[in-house]
Amino acid sequence: MKVKFWGVRGSIPTPIKPSQLQSRIAAIVQRIQPSDLISQESRDAFLAGIPPYLIETVGGNTTCIEIRLKDDSCIIIDAGSGIRELGINILKKRDKARKFHIFFTHFHWDHIMGLPFFDPAYIPGYELHFYSPVKHMEKALREQMEVPYFPVTMKTFAADLHFHTINDEIMNINGAEISWRRVKHPGGCFSYKISECGKDFIFSTDTELTERDFRRSPENTEFYEGTDLIVIDSQYTLGEAIEKYDWGHSSYSLAVDFASEWKIPKVVLFHHEPKYEDKKIYKILNSAKWYEKHIENSNLEIYLAKEELEFTL
Ligand SMILES: [Zn+2]
Ligand SMILES: [Zn+2]
């Protein structure tokens, strides 16, 4: 399976500001030496040596993840503002997929706000299947497109819509097994595990990790242990996580502890705090790597979630 990120910010879209862009360009220009410009190789080497917080961005869209199964069928988790770009991309590359399986972790606005801008929804012939353990899913999705919040209602969607309330049983979509767990978050939230061809992927955003998640119960062990890749909420620094106890998010250090505890070799830090600029988010990555080195018997690969980043399992 392939996992691709279309939106990684928490809470609200966070586009880069003109003044931020200007100061980055100024910082890059200041680093240039005449010898950096003499050949294509020297220019490439110069660009490769620029710190990622100046030359990259994690992106400003809110939660949306695309998962492609072996047969190229498409699962989407959450319809934050990132799903708009995904929809544009699907049409632009004339994607063969006509059926989209969209799972919702919960219905906070940053996780549904992009749905009215998902272009395939307005085209006949597409099928949108929505999934959540929550019974009021359809109501929650329709209401954000009611007057006065949006100019057209969900009735203008020309795609076939199907709403599925999922239960405790493991679901099967084209050979992939999908299970879920409740996580601590105001109003409730669910993490999802997708397993295909012996590989497991867990998506756990908007999660305030608690002692319960570390408990070695049969349910936790079955769900978490030995998963190949986890994308996990790590919105805060440790100090802020203590200050914002009960706000429903985790610190990067707890996310690292969690992956280490459950022997999950690849961990992706996710749901970046909208107040943080790229520089601070990259600093969090470095701190997480530093912290992990001090955990006994831990051997994790730690990544930052960024728009367009892809993993193949
Ligand atoms: Zn969120
Ligand atoms: Zn939330």
Query: What pLDDT digit, counting tens, does each position of 113-129 carry?
Result: 999 999 999 999 999 99
In this predicted structure, what is the pLDDT of residue 52?
A: 94
* Whether residue 241 has pLDDT greater than 90: no
Residue type, 55: I
Least confident of 92-96, 140-144, 177-181, 248-252: 248-252
* pLDDT, position 62: 98
Tell me the CA–centroid distance for residue 48 and ligand 2, in Å.
36
For residue 189, the ligand closest to its alpha carbon is: 2
For residue 59, how many C-alpha atoms fall within 13 Å in the half-sphere facing its CB? 21
Tens-digit pLDDT profile for residues 41-77 = 999 999 999 999 999 999 999 999 999 999 999 999 9
How close is the Cα of 56 to the center of ligand 2, in Å? 26
Cα 187 to ligand 2 centroid, rounded to whole Å: 8
Read off φ and ψ for residue 144, nearest 5 degrees. Answer: -70, -10
- CA 220/CA 243 separation, integer angstroms: 27
**Band (169; pLDDT cuts 50, 70, 90):** confident
The torsion angles phi and psi of 74, rounded to 5 degrees, stand at -115, 120
At residue 239, the pLDDT reads: 79
Note the ligand closest to the C-alpha atom of 7.
1
Ligand closest to CA 248? 2
The ligand placed nearest to the CA atom of residue 106 is 2
Residues 6 or more apart whose CB falls under 8 angstroms from that of 43 comprise: 36, 37
- The full set of domains in the chain, from first to last, is 2-14+57-312 (3.60.15.10), 18-54 (no CATH)
* Ramachandran area for residue 303 (φ above 0: left; ψ -120 to 50: alpha; else beta): beta
Residue 281 identity (one-letter amino acid): I
Supply the angle between the helices 252-261 and 278-293 in degrees, to the nearest 10. 40
Give CA torsion, residues 77, 81, 83, 89, to 10 deg: -150
Ligand nearest to the CA of 186: 2
Q: How many whole angstroms from 165 Cα to the centroid of ligand 2?
A: 19
What pLDDT is stored for residue 242 in this prediction? 76
Using the CB atoms, write b or e for 119-146: b if 16+ within 10 Å.
bbbeeeebebbbbbbbeebeeebeeebe
pLDDT of residue 245: 78
Q: What is the structure's pLDDT at 262?
A: 96
In whole angstroms, give the CA distance from residue 145 to residue 156: 10
Amino acid type, 89: N
The DSSP call for residue 215 is S
Whole-number mean pLDDT of the chain?
95
Q: What is the pLDDT of residue 238?
A: 78
Q: How far is the CA of 164 from the centre of ligand 2 (A)?
A: 21
Q: Give the ligand whose atoms come closest to the C-alpha of residue 12.
A: 1
pLDDT on residue 116: 98
- pLDDT above 90 covers a percentage of the chain that reads 92
Cα–ligand 2 centroid distance for 2 (angstroms): 25
Q: Note the ligand closest to the C-alpha atom of 111.
A: 1
Give the pLDDT of residue 134.
96
Q: How far is the CA of 279 from the centre of ligand 2 (A)?
A: 24
- The torsion region of residue 186 among left (phi > 0), alpha (psi -120 to 50) and beta comes to beta
Report the alpha-carbon distance of residue 25 to residue 45 in Å, rounded: 17
Looking at all shown ligands, the one closest to residue 233's CA atom is: 1
Q: Where are the alpha helices (DSSP H) in 50-194?
A: 52-55, 82-92, 137-143
Angle at 120 between CA 115 and CA 126, to 5 degrees: 120
Provide the 3-class DSSP secondary structure of residue 270.
strand
Q: What is the average per-residue pLDDT within 287-308?
A: 94
* Ligand 2 center–CA 134 separation, angstroms: 14
Ligand 2 is an ion; residues with CB less than 5 A from it = 108, 206
- Report the SS3 class of residue 211: helix
Alpha helix stretches (DSSP H) within the chain: 18-31, 40-48, 52-55, 82-92, 137-143, 211-214, 218-224, 238-243, 252-261, 278-293
Whether the pLDDT of residue 278 is over 80: the answer is yes
CA of 206 to the centre of ligand 2 (A): 5
**Model confidence at 250, in pLDDT bands (50, 70, 90)?**
confident
- Of 58-72, 142-156, 239-253, 295-309, the range with the lowest mean pLDDT is 239-253
Q: How many Cα atoms are found within 13 Å in the side-chain-facing hemisphere of 177?
A: 11
Beta bridge partner(s), residue 181: 191
Residue 146 Cα, ligand 1 centroid: separation in angstroms? 22
Give the C-alpha separation, 34 to 72, whole Å.
Answer: 48
Residue 3 near residue 310 (C-beta atoms within 8 A): yes
